[in-house]
Structure 1
Amino acid sequence: MAMNDTYAANEPPREEIDALMGATLVEFGAPWCGFCRTAQGPLAAAMAQHPGVRHIKIEDGKGRRLGRSFGVRLWPTLVFIKDGAEVARLVRPADAGAIVQALGQIHTVG
């Protein structure tokens, strides 16, 4: 698996996310968001160290149910999930170190 570069306009239902097994990073944001664009470099660097993590990139916005179900208020919000359960969350991460640490909580490099 690799980092996604494109935000999905169609969001999966929350039940589908909750049923995912393994390590998953769900990224909420928008392609026009400056904070989201700034986070892409650190996110790419961190994801390169954890290539086995599933990356779901969701375009969030008003009326989007998946983001609201996760309580997303600011972009980007990174939700780190292992076997369907949220393990960690980062909002507007500034550096790859914090992302790597959170990825380490859901994925064993191996």
Structure 2
Amino acid sequence: EVLDLGRTKRTVSVAQRKALHTRDRGCAFPGCGRPPKWCDAHHVRHWSDGGDTDLANLVLLCRTHHSLVHHSRWQISLTGGVPTFIPPRHVDPAQLPRQNLLHRPPTSIAA
């Protein structure tokens, strides 16, 4: 099935949601243990800013962390297909990248 929809649709397809459940295994925010069914698909580069509805630009976030990311300065990237979060300076002055280790073992984060 098609997993990369580009700019043709803003909302994720059933196939994309299944792929996100498999990849992220729940809320991708560091330390969150909420399961995939409790999560929304979030565009890393927001749709309104030209972000595509592609797996390389989507991450699962629970409602709490989805709201936090939209209303704060957390940055998200995908490192080797694994969501990586960079906190705002007021949370961590060094802005060290973080991953959710509850759903998978850590992966190497290039600085």
TM-score in same-fold range (> 0.5): no
User: What TM-score, normalized by structure 2, do the two folds share?
Assistant: 0.34
- Relative contact order, higher structure (CA 8 A, sep 6+): 1
The structure with more strand, counted as a fraction of residues? 1
Q: Which structure would you say has the larger Rg?
A: 2
- Higher helix content, 1 or 2: 1
TM-score (norm 1): 0.34
